[in-house]
């Protein structure tokens, strides 16, 4: 699995620590991790709004399979991600959230709070969230007697989102193009995207912004 880590400006100082924990857990399980920023406070500037755009492009183009995102509370990154077609983002404050999201909702992104409640042993909480997010089978339901309705509802939710959302490129074109251009402007993002993109229409659109 290919996993992208993305963090916005207010929490950029924690990126190195989060990236280390994610690499140790997910990399140790054989997953590929791409840190697409912000790697520090001086990196290409991103807000949580940009993170949602980035998640949409990376996931819908199949450049990555999963996104780890977040901001101070995690709420902005969560909302910005779930605005977009093809992105199903869960809110994880503790390891049990990651486990239950994977089993019940089986989405493709998680949003973490990197300021609120992030005190002593914060790195341990992040590590254990990643362990629950990337180990074991997904979508098996919890508790076991609720498996059938949970799996059915997760599929229905995806169908509803597909029905109400525009196609990816159309939705991106409907946004202020300066926002999208800023979102795709970093070297880390472009390396991850262009090296792994599997959708020609999305690739052509992104190239039109940066050429």
The residue among 71 and 158 whose pLDDT is bigger is: 71
Q: Distance (Å, rounded) from C-alpha 118 to C-alpha 72?
A: 9
Does the structure show a pLDDT above 90 at 86? Answer: yes
Mean pLDDT value of segment 54-77: 98
CB atoms within 10 A of CB 2: 17
What residues are paired with 167 via a beta bridge?
none
Q: Three-state secondary structure along 143-182?
A: CHHHHHHHHHHHHHHHHHHHHHCCCHHHHHHCCCHHHHHH
Q: Which CATH number covers residue 99?
A: 3.40.1400.10
Angle at 122 between CA 81 and CA 22, to 5 degrees: 55
| pLDDT recorded at residue 102 | 95
Average pLDDT of the chain is 96
Q: Count up the domains in the chain and report the number.
A: 1
Does the structure show a pLDDT above 90 at 175? Answer: yes
Q: What is the torsional sign of CA 194, 196, 200, 201?
A: negative
pTM over 0.85: yes
Q: What is the pLDDT of residues 192-209, one digit of tens each?
A: 999 999 999 999 999 999
Q: What is the pLDDT of residues 97-156, one digit of tens each?
A: 999 999 999 999 999 999 999 999 999 999 999 999 999 899 998 998 899 999 999 999
What range defines the domain where residue 48 resides? 2-210
């Amino acid at each position: 699995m290919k996993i992208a880590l993305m963090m916005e400006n207010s929490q950029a100082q924690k990126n190195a620590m989060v990236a280390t924990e994610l690499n140790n857990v997910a990399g140790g399980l054989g997953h590929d991790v791409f840190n697409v920023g912000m790697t520090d406070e001086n990196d290409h500037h991103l807000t949580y709004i940009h993170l949602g755009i980035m998640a949409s492009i990376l996931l819908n183009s199949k450049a990555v399979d999963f996104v780890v995102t977040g901001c101070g509370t995690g709420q902005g990154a969560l909302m910005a991600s779930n605005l977009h077609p093809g992105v199903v983002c869960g809110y994880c404050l503790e390891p049990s959230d990651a486990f239950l999201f994977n089993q019940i909702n089986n989405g493709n992104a998680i949003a973490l709070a990197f300021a609120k409640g992030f005190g002593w042993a914060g790195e341990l909480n992040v590590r254990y969230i990643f362990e629950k997010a990337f180990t074991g089978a997904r979508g098996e339901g919890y508790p076991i007697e609720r498996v059938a309705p949970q799996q059915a509802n997760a599929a229905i939710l995806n169908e509803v989102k597909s029905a109400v959302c525009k196609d990816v490129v159309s939705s991106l074109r409907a946004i202020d193009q300066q926002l999208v251009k800023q979102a795709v402007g970093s070297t880390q993002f472009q390396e991850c995207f262009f090296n792994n993109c599997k959708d020609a229409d999305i690739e052509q659109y992104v190239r039109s912004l940066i050429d």
